[in-house]
Amino acid sequence: MENGHLDRGRRVKPLNEPPAILCRGLSRTYDLGGQKVEALRNVTFEVRQGEFVAIMGASGSGKSTLVNLIGALDKPTSGELFIDGLAIAGLGDEALARLRNHHIGIVFQQFNLLPRMTTLENVMLPLNYAHVKVPDKAALAGALLADVGLGTRLHHKPAQLSGGQQQRVAIARALVNRPNILLADEPTGALDTKTSHEIMALFAALHANGLTVMVITHEADIAAYAERMLRFRDGELISDTNQDPLEAMARIP
Q: What is the smallest separation between the CB atom of 187 and ligand ADP, expressed in angstroms?
A: 13
Residues near ligand ADP (CB under 6 A): 30, 32, 37, 39, 57, 59-65
The partner residues of 37 in beta bridges, in order of sequence, read: 30
Say which residues have a Cβ less than 8 Å from residue 73's Cβ, sequence separation at least 6: 100
Q: How far apart are CA 25 and CA 59, in angstroms?
A: 22
68 binds Mg ion per the rule CB under 5 A? no
Q: What is the smallest separation between the CB atom of 66 and ligand ADP, expressed in angstroms?
A: 7
188 binds Mg ion per the rule CB under 5 A? no
Which residue is at the shortest CB distance from Mg ion? 64
64 binds Mg ion per the rule CB under 5 A? yes
Q: How many residues bind Mg ion (CB under 5 A)?
A: 2
Q: Which is nearer to ligand ADP, 30 or 129 (CB)?
A: 30
Q: Which is nearer to ligand ADP, 37 or 238 (CB)?
A: 37
Q: What is the DSSP annotation of 187-251?
A: TTTTS-HHHHHHHHHHHHHHHHTT-EEEEEES-HHHHTTSSEEEEEETTEEEEEEE--HHHHHHH
Neighbours of 204 (CB within 10 A): 17
Q: What is the smallest separation between the CB atom of 64 and Mg ion, expressed in angstroms?
A: 3
* DSSP code, position 67: H
109 binds Mg ion per the rule CB under 5 A? no
Q: What is the smallest separation between the CB atom of 124 and ligand ADP, expressed in angstroms?
A: 29
CA distances from 207 to 135, 181, 203 (A): 27, 10, 6
Q: What is the smallest separation between the CB atom of 242 and ligand ADP, expressed in angstroms?
A: 22
Positions that interact with Mg ion (CB under 5 A): 63-64
